[in-house]
């Protein structure tokens, strides 16, 4: 179980979460410097804050202080900790508590107030006064560092969070440093050297030197002699010169502790070298994969990589929000209520019959007769849209004294019912389209996030052989412009797109509709949106446009990935496409209605094929060849013996003009893959 995740994850391990805070505070109570000062435990209690976390830390300090300190000193730190926890509980729900400087200032104030009582006679201008001021400063600074460590939520940890964890671990090792293994060999100092070696291995000579200085100062503060800070930092600088592996790095670090023998007593220096050697062995036992993962996390936090990752996270969050909105609208949508036609007669009766003197006779005594009569005339009402006096039987007309008023009320209520039904259907249609738009936006954002990840992870793609593309258009006889629009382009990732749209009718209006469709779809595709998502999004938008303009367009799209030589065909009401391979021709068709006529959720007809060198691909509009009579086109393609794609396009356009006589707009896109070189073909 990982220390940092257990320290932070209350939901996954609640008992360990609180127990770890208890034990950390207890250990930090034993981290005493300069003969009995323990500011680190106070900083941890303050950083734990209010609630159960702070209470566990307070109890840990109380236990550690009673076990590891003299009674008088223990009472001092218990009193300070209780004051800090009480202030946290009193202010935890205020804006002041949320400020970063609040808890450090509270810690400093409580430490100063109680510590002043314990200050010895010489006052501030003495060694005890200096230690008193240093304790206040360290308690406040450790509160800041521990608060960052305890509030970290995102993994991998940032550089600031890793530094905070380093401070926490080093200060805890102060308590362990007094535990001897053999002679004066210290367990705490051994692990401190392991941390310094790790920091230098990951961050280089600079990070190792800073880590060595901090760890050394912590160890020196126990005995009050300046030795380990110089030894650790100097060794880290020397070890940082190695770029040839962990073994050489560790050996140089151990060797770097030898110069410290010059200014230290014999026993202390020898044990320091032995501790470095033992720490080096432990460091070499750490799996190399741990350092690789740490480096990957570090790279992920660099400015160049953090921005795409942050943008990817924002896109995915926005996509999830729109998807949640779509799901809520789907589940919360009320059922369509067309109202029973019986409500028409009920409301008319409330207006007319309620004040009639014969109301009791018709609706109480002869209710069954009245009900059957109204049920019989319902057919006339629904077929004609209104009732006439002749629709009622004679026994009803002879008895009803307000028949004209009743018929007028029924007709008015029926008209209102039809209008309500129409409005309800329009509202439901609008709701469905809004839902589809939310779904499409969610898909677009997800596609963008996926593209960011693919661009970050993918290796540079090798260049693909260029393909030949030729387009041709011919307007209908008597028209100056064609209602079709074609577009061909290559995206930055090498993907080739062939796009053809046929607007409804002919002339300028049809051209405007097809041009709008091609322009919008091309913008989606160029931005990196995948073809299915782009097509469904555009289809949803064109559905709204069709309701307003009353027009529609076909979409014929081919997406060719040169790297894999795969081609995907997408069709919304488009004419067949053709693939020529040698002397054979494959026909690709679709059955989905044109864009704007099919539902927004309807996926276009999709066909994926693998193209081979020398293949031809033909995309054509319905004015080029009738889908029910295109045998001539298939035969012509099969008999074509090769040549440039331009000559094939010209031959096909001439043949189509002779057959149809320019009865409709005709457009054509032809693509040819480069054939294999002659030598390669013979080898195959």
Of 357-371, 420-434, 510-524, which one has max mean pLDDT?
510-524
> Does the CA dihedral 645-646-647-651 come out positive or negative?
positive
Please give the pLDDT value at position 2.
Answer: 45
> Residue 202 in contact with residue 216, Cβ under 8 Å?
no
Please give the pLDDT value at position 59.
Answer: 92
Q: Is the pLDDT of residue 195 over 90?
A: no
Distance CA 658, CA 653 (A): 9
More confident: 676 or 633: 633
Q: At what angle do helices 403-457 and 303-332 cross, to 10 degrees?
A: 160
Please give the pLDDT value at position 215.
Answer: 83
Please give the pLDDT value at position 500.
Answer: 94
Backbone angles phi, psi at 588, to 5 degrees: -115, 120
Query: Which pLDDT tens digit goes with each residue over 398-438?
Result: 888 888 888 898 889 888 888 888 877 776 776 676 666 66
For 133-137, 257-261, 331-335, 666-670, which range has the lowest pLDDT when averaged over its residues?
Answer: 331-335
8-state DSSP, 8? H
Phi-psi region of 123 (alpha: psi -120 to 50; beta: other; left: phi over 0): left
> Residue 78 in contact with residue 62, Cβ under 8 Å?
yes
Give which of 186, 194, 213, 201 is closest to 272, Cα–Cα: 186
> Residue 580 in contact with residue 614, Cβ under 8 Å?
no
Query: Which pLDDT tens digit goes with each residue over 198-252?
Result: 887 777 777 777 888 788 888 878 766 667 777 787 787 777 766 567 788 888 8
Distance CA 116, CA 123 (A): 9
> Residue 176 in contact with residue 260, Cβ under 8 Å?
no
pLDDT band at residue 461 under the 50/70/90 scheme: very low
Distance CA 492, CA 327 (A): 35
Q: Is the pLDDT of residue 309 over 70?
A: no
Kindly report, as residue ranges, where domains of CATH 3.60.40.10 are found in the chain. 463-683
pLDDT band at residue 668 under the 50/70/90 scheme: very high
> Residue 570 in contact with residue 535, Cβ under 8 Å?
yes
> Any bridge partners for residue 571, and if so which?
556, 605
Query: Which pLDDT tens digit goes with each residue over 2-25?
Result: 444 444 444 446 777 788 889 999
- For the CA atoms of 18, 20, 25, 30, the dihedral, rounded to the nearest 10 degrees, stands at 150
Distance CA 318, CA 550 (A): 34
- Cβ burial of 238 (10 Å; 0-12, 13-18, 19+) is buried
Q: Which residues, other chains included, contact 240 with Cβ-Cβ below 8 Å and sequence gap of 6+?
A: 200, 204, 205, 206, 208, 209
> Residue 145 in contact with residue 168, Cβ under 8 Å?
yes
Distance CA 162, CA 585 (A): 64
Structure tokens given for 489: 């382009």
Radius of gyration of the chain (CA): 41
Q: Is the pLDDT of residue 559 over 90?
A: yes
Indicate the class that CATH gives domain 463-683. alpha beta
> Residue 425 in contact with residue 547, Cβ under 8 Å?
no
- Cβ burial of 559 (10 Å; 0-12, 13-18, 19+) is buried
Instruction: In the chain, count H helices and then E strands.
Output: 25, 10
- For the CA atoms of 183, 188, 192, 193, the dihedral, rounded to the nearest 10 degrees, stands at 20
> Residue 72 in contact with residue 110, Cβ under 8 Å?
no
- For the CA atoms of 291, 293, 298, 303, the dihedral, rounded to the nearest 10 degrees, stands at 150
Please give the pLDDT value at position 556.
Answer: 93
> Residue 443 in contact with residue 533, Cβ under 8 Å?
yes
Percent of the chain with pLDDT over 70: 77
Q: Is the pLDDT of residue 319 over 80?
A: no
Query: Which pLDDT tens digit goes with each residue over 263-282?
Result: 665 666 777 788 888 888 88
> Residue 34 in contact with residue 225, Cβ under 8 Å?
no
> Residue 116 in contact with residue 128, Cβ under 8 Å?
no
For 302-316, 478-492, 653-667, which range has the lowest pLDDT when averaged over its residues?
Answer: 302-316
More confident: 546 or 46: 46
Distance CA 133, CA 108 (A): 10
| Length reported for the chain | 684
Strand order in the sheet with 553-561: 484-490, 496-503, 553-561, 566-572, 605-610
Please give the pLDDT value at position 10.
Answer: 47
Strand, helix or coil at 559? strand
* Continuous H helices in 151-245: 159-176, 187-223, 228-239
Distance CA 84, CA 86 (A): 5
Query: Please, what is the average pLDDT of the chain?
Result: 79
Q: At what angle do helices 127-150 and 39-48 cross, to 10 degrees?
A: 30
For 300-304, 400-404, 558-562, 569-573, which range has the lowest pLDDT when averaged over its residues?
Answer: 300-304
User: In 316-330, which positions are buried (b, 16+ CB within 10 angstroms) versus exposed (e)?
Assistant: bebbeebbebbeeee
Query: Which pLDDT tens digit goes with each residue over 73-99?
Result: 899 999 999 999 999 888 888 888 888
pLDDT band at residue 182 under the 50/70/90 scheme: confident
């Amino acid at each position: 179980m990982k220390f940092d995740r257990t320290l932070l994850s209350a939901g996954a391990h609640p008992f360990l979460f609180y127990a770890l805070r208890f034990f950390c505070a207890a250990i930090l109570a034993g981290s005493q410097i300069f003969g009995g000062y323990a500011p680190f435990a106070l900083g941890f209690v303050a950083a734990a804050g209010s609630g159960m976390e702070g209470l566990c830390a307070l109890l840990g300090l109380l236990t550690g202080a009673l076990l590891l300190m003299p009674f008088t000193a223990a009472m001092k730190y218990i009193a300070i900790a209780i004051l800090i926890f009480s202030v946290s509980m009193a202010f935890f729900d205020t804006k002041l508590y949320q400020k970063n400087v609040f808890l450090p200032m509270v810690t400093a104030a409580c430490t100063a107030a109680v510590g002043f009582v314990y200050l010895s006679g010489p006052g501030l201008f003495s060694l005890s006064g200096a230690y008193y001021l240093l304790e206040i400063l360290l308690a406040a600074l450790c509160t800041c560092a521990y608060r960052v460590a305890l509030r970290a939520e995102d993994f991998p940890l940032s550089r600031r969070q890793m530094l905070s964890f380093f401070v926490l671990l080093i200060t805890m090792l102060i308590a362990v440093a007094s535990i001897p293994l053999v002679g004066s060999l210290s367990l705490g100092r051994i692990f401190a050297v392991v941390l310094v070696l790790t920091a230098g291995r990951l961050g280089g000579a600079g990070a190792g030197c800073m880590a060595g200085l901090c760890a050394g100062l912590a160890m020196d503060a126990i005995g009050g002699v300046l030795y380990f800070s110089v030894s650790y930092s100097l060794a880290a600088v020397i070890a940082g010169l190695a770029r040839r592996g962990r073994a050489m790095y560790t050996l140089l670090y151990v060797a770097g502790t030898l110069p410290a023998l010059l200014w230290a007593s014999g026993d202390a220096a020898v044990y320091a070298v032995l501790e470095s050697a033992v720490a080096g062995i432990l460091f070499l036992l750490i799996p190399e994969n741990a350092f690789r993962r740490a480096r990957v996390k570090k790279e992920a936090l660099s400015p160049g990589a953090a921005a795409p990752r942050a943008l990817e996270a924002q896109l995915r969050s926005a996509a999830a929000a729109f998807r949640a909105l779509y799901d809520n609208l789907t589940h919360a949508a009320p059922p369509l209520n067309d109202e029973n036609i019986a409500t028409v007669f009920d409301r008319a009766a409330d207006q007319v019959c309620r004040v009639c003197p014969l109301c009791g006779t018709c609706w109480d005594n002869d209710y069954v007769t009245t009900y059957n009569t109204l049920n019989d005339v319902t057919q006339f009402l629904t077929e004609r849209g209104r009732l006439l006096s002749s629709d009622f039987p004679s026994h009803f007309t002879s008895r009803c004294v307000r028949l004209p008023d009743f018929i007028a009320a029924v007709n008015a209520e029926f008209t209102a019912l039809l209008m309500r039904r129409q409005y309800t259907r329009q509202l439901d249609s609008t709701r469905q389209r809004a839902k589809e738009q939310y779904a499409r936006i969610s898909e677009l954002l997800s596609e963008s996030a996926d593209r960011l990840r693919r661009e970050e992870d993918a290796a540079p793609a090798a260049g693909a052989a260029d393909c030949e593309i030729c387009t041709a258009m011919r307007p209908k006889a008597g028209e100056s412009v064609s209602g079709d629009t074609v577009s061909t382009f290559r995206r930055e990732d090498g993907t080739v797109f062939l796009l053809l749209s046929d607007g409804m009718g002919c002339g300028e209006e049809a051209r405007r509709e097809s041009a709008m469709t091609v322009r919008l779809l091309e913008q989606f595709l160029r931005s990196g949106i995948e073809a299915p998502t782009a097509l469904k999004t555009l289809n949803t938008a064109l559905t709204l446009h069709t309701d307003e303009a009353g027009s529609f367009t076909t979409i014929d799209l081919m997406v060719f990935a040169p790297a894999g030589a795969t081609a995907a065909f997408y069709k919304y009401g488009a004419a067949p496409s053709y693939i020529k391979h040698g002397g054979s021709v494959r026909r690709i068709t679709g059955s989905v209605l044109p864009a704007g006529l099919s539902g927004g959720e309807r996926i276009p007809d999709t066909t994926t094929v693998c193209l081979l060198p020398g293949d031809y691909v033909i995309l054509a509009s319905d004015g080029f060849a009738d889908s029910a009579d295109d045998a001539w086109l298939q035969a012509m393609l099969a008999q074509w013996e090769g040549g440039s794609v331009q000559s094939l396009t010209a031959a096909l356009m001439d043949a189509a003009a002779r057959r149809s006589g320019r009865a409709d707009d005709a457009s054509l896109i032809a693509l040819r893959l480069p054939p294999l070189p002659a030598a390669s073909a013979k080898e195959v």
